[in-house]
Amino acid sequence: MENVLTAKNVKKVYGARGNIFTALTGIDLDIKKGEFVGIMGPSGAGKTTLLNIISTIDTPTSGEVLIGNSNIVNMKEEELSSFRRNKLGFMFQDFNLLDTLTVKENIILPLALSKINPKEIEKRANEVSMILGIEDILNKYPYEISGGQKQRTAAARAIINKPQLILADEPTGALDSKASTELLQAMSDLNENNDATIMMVTHDAFAASYCKRIIFIKDGSLFTELVRSGSRKEFFQMILDVLRTLGGDTSDII
Ligand code: ADP
Ligand code: MG
């Protein structure tokens, strides 16, 4: 399978002379097409730093990051914004929906600057809202829908441009357990049925158990990796075991 993401020896050093902090020590990471990868690790491990670099929001101090065949490290801002729009899908903990737009308008927002014709936009909006089960709320505003529906709207928005890679940062962080489960099932279906490639940062072992592979980082380095082979429940237990050996306050990470 082809790599969607290839990160080589990615380092991130914050600060200036005399007061520097190495947040990533030299990370190597490959994600193949069709994977659903979780990134876990204690607070301060470097998860957000890594996600921001892959999202093209931040740049590494050194190292290479390829998404598909594009080296995103040296891209100019203009090229980057079109790259983000066309190749990446984003989901955040706090949904990032615009309150003045309807659900449907929020979903099609990533296509606003594209050259895709209105008919095709309409068709895609219908497709993605069916996939996420939000076809009945397309004309509502974000303040009229539940947290779970907001996050499924955000998921629909993340996939409408058929991104090479979906990047999710704690997408269940603001959801109750029922809404979390529904969202994770939807993400898992997207991955299974639509061949979506997903990288999700989470501190939640239950959320992580929906992934097919988990990469654990600690102190800016790769700590270990788990690949799911058996049931989701077995995987959940394996994840808990690694989190225990990783240390830190488990009441926070479980
Ligand atoms: P995580 O998401 O795993 O909790 P982060 O990637 O946010 O960790 O942070 C990793 C480390 O880098 C932390 O020790 C954090 O304090 C430090 N850090 C993050 N951003 C900055 C910054 N802009 N300047 C200085 N240090 C930072
Ligand atoms: Mg973080």
Taking the centre of ligand 2 as the mean of its atom positions, its distance from the CA of residue 220, in whole angstroms, is 12
Pocket of ligand 1 (CB under 6 A): 14-15, 21, 23, 41, 43-49
d(C-alpha 49, C-alpha 95), whole Å: 19
Work out the mean pLDDT of the chain and round it to a whole number: 93
Atom of ligand 1 nearest to the CA of 52: 6
* pLDDT at residue 73 in the model: 92
Nearest ligand by distance to the CA of 170: 2
Task: Give the fold, CATH level 3, of 33-56+81-253.
Answer: Rossmann fold (3.40.50)
**pTM for this predicted structure:** 0.93
d(C-alpha 187, C-alpha 128), whole Å: 12
Q: How do residues 187-200 score in pLDDT, each as one tens digit?
A: 999 999 988 999 99
Average pLDDT estimate for 129-135: 94
Domain regions of the chain by residue span: 33-56+81-253
Read off the tokens for 29.
Answer: 């990471």
Of 223, 212, 217, whose CA–CA distance to 51 is shortest?
217
* pLDDT at residue 36 in the model: 98
Q: Which of 10, 13, 14 best tests ligand 1's pocket when mutated (most atoms within 8 Å of CB)?
A: 14
Taking the centre of ligand 1 as the mean of its atom positions, its distance from the CA of residue 243, in whole angstroms, is 20
Q: How do residues 199-250 score in pLDDT, each as one tens digit?
A: 999 999 999 999 999 999 999 999 999 999 999 999 999 999 999 999 755 5
CA atoms within 13 A on the CB side of 137: 21
Answer whether residue 3 shows pLDDT above 50.
yes
Contact predicate 28/60, CB 8 Å: no
Taking the centre of ligand 2 as the mean of its atom positions, its distance from the CA of residue 75, in whole angstroms, is 25
